[in-house]
Amino acid sequence: MNQSQAGAIAGSAVRVLLPVLLALVAGGLILLALGADPIAYYGYVVQRGLLSPTGLEGSITRMAPLLLIAAGLIVAFRAGLWNLGVDGQYLLATVVVAALAPVLAPLVPSWLMIPICLAVAFAVGAAWSVIPAFLKAVHGINEIISTLMMSFLGVSLANILIKIVFNDTTTTVPQTETLAVEDRLSRLGDSTVHWGVILAVLAVIGVHYLMGHTALGLRLQIIGSNPRTAIHAGLNVKRLTFIAFALSAGLAGVGGAIDVIGVQGNVRADYNPAYGILVIPLVFLARFNGFGVIAFVFFFAVLMIGGESAARRVGVPNFFVLVLVALLLTFLALVEYLDHERRQKRAA
């Protein structure tokens, strides 16, 4: 490795680590202003999310749904489509699979049940993206609005399904039937981590490969970077728009399925983790790069799991994680801007 390459790598490491550091410091100042002890808070987060064995296993398990959502977003964003409706797609697939899995489990062996569940989840997620894809491809309507609206609709519809259609009548709280623990995804070794995490990591790497190394990926990237070029090149932009949306929403749906048949076992009414809107900034922070996404999702999962413990012990509500993600996003954008300006000056 020559000197300039090493310099470039060091440069990009600084561009990523500096915003993280600034966000943590700014977050600490906010905690201080609110009268909480930032050192104690961060200490707890690291202790409970990363250093303790149960915490680390919890963080890694949490990565599974987040990574699958991120995989879907990489496809959409690289294709220049703003799929901001992940939460609806995710939740609807989650609820349908939660209803399906306990019915299916006694009927078919698990090697068949799991693929069926994942396929159904993919289909449900993808189906929820058809309207925005249609509006975008045919009417040219901005997909930001339509996906957001579909997301709100999906969340409410999922609730109706739980309360009215799939309600387990043996429990007092409206919820779907519970999938027996032995029917859930098997664990890795002695840990509490299920193998869905591996599937999720493979999905992100697969999508990274798809977008960078295949003809379909290249076509999607072209409609993303310059739709006019895509038309001139004779690409079927409408069809590609539908494909990108379906892949994106379908993968988010699979994320929901993995969480249900791996960890939750059922879904309660009014459950909405709203992972999507949090993963979007992470995919940006990683600049749509699959490996970067895995690293950021791990960092974020630690923050979430540790933050949940810290909320109970240090008394800082977990809303603080939202603030941290926003700060991270802002500082990353700021550092990138300053870097851009610096280069422009050097070039001039």
Partner 1 sequence: MDALFTEAFIGALLFGAVTAGVPLLLAGLGEQISEKAGVLNIGIEGMMLVGAYVGFTVAYYSESFFWGFLAGGIAGAAVAAIMVVLCVYASMNQIVVGIGITLAAEGMTALEHHYEFSRSYPRLGKTETWPIPGLSDLPYVGNAFFNHSPLVYFGVVLTFVLVWLFRRTHVGLNLQAAGDKPAALDAAGVSVATTRALAVLSTGFLAGLGGAYLSSVAGGLFLPFMTGGAGFIAIVLAMLARGKPTWVLLGAFLFGASLSLTTAMQVAGINVPTDIIQMLPFAMVILVLVAFGRNSRLPPALGLPYRRGER
Measured CA to CA, the distance from residue 147 to residue 132 in angstroms comes to 6
- Minimum Å distance from CB 166 to partner 1? 14
- Minimum Å distance from CB 107 to partner 1? 30
Residues 102-131 that bind partner 1 (CB under 8 A): 131
Measured CA to CA, the distance from residue 83 to residue 60 in angstroms comes to 25
Residues 256-275 that bind partner 1 (CB under 8 A): none
- Minimum Å distance from CB 325 to partner 1? 6
Site for partner 1 (CB under 8 A): which residue of 205, 326, 335, 339? 326
Q: Does 150 bind partner 1 (CB under 8 A)?
A: yes
Site for partner 1 (CB under 8 A): which residue of 46, 135, 188, 216? 135
Site for partner 1 (CB under 8 A): which residue of 142, 186, 226, 229? 142
Residues 59-98 that bind partner 1 (CB under 8 A): 82, 84
- The nearer residue to partner 1, 142 or 192, going by C-beta atoms, is 142
Stretch in the footprint of partner 1 (CB under 8 A) among 3-11, 29-37, 211-219, 238-246: 29-37
Site for partner 1 (CB under 8 A): which residue of 59, 159, 176, 264? 159
Residue 274 backbone dihedrals phi, psi, to 5 degrees: 50, 45
- Minimum Å distance from CB 18 to partner 1? 16
Measured CA to CA, the distance from residue 207 to residue 201 in angstroms comes to 10
Measured CA to CA, the distance from residue 348 to residue 341 in angstroms comes to 11
133-141: long-range contacts (C-beta < 8 A, 24 or more apart)? 133/241, 133/242, 133/245, 133/246, 134/242, 136/81, 136/241, 136/245, 137/237, 137/238, 137/241, 137/242, 138/238
Q: Does 322 bind partner 1 (CB under 8 A)?
A: yes
- Specify whether the CB–CB gap between 105 and 113 falls below 8 A: yes
User: DSSP letters of 83-113?
Assistant: ---HHHHHHHHHHHHHHHHHHHTTTS-HHHH
Q: Does 20 bind partner 1 (CB under 8 A)?
A: no
- For 333, the token pair is 């954008």
- Minimum Å distance from CB 315 to partner 1? 9
Among 79, 95, 98, CA closest to 87: 95
Residue where the block lists tokens 């929901």 = 256
Residues near partner 1, by CB under 8 A: 30, 34-35, 82, 84, 131, 134-135, 139, 141-142, 144-146, 148-150, 152-153, 156-157, 159-160, 163-164, 277-278, 280-281, 284, 316-317, 319-327, 329-330, 333-334, 337
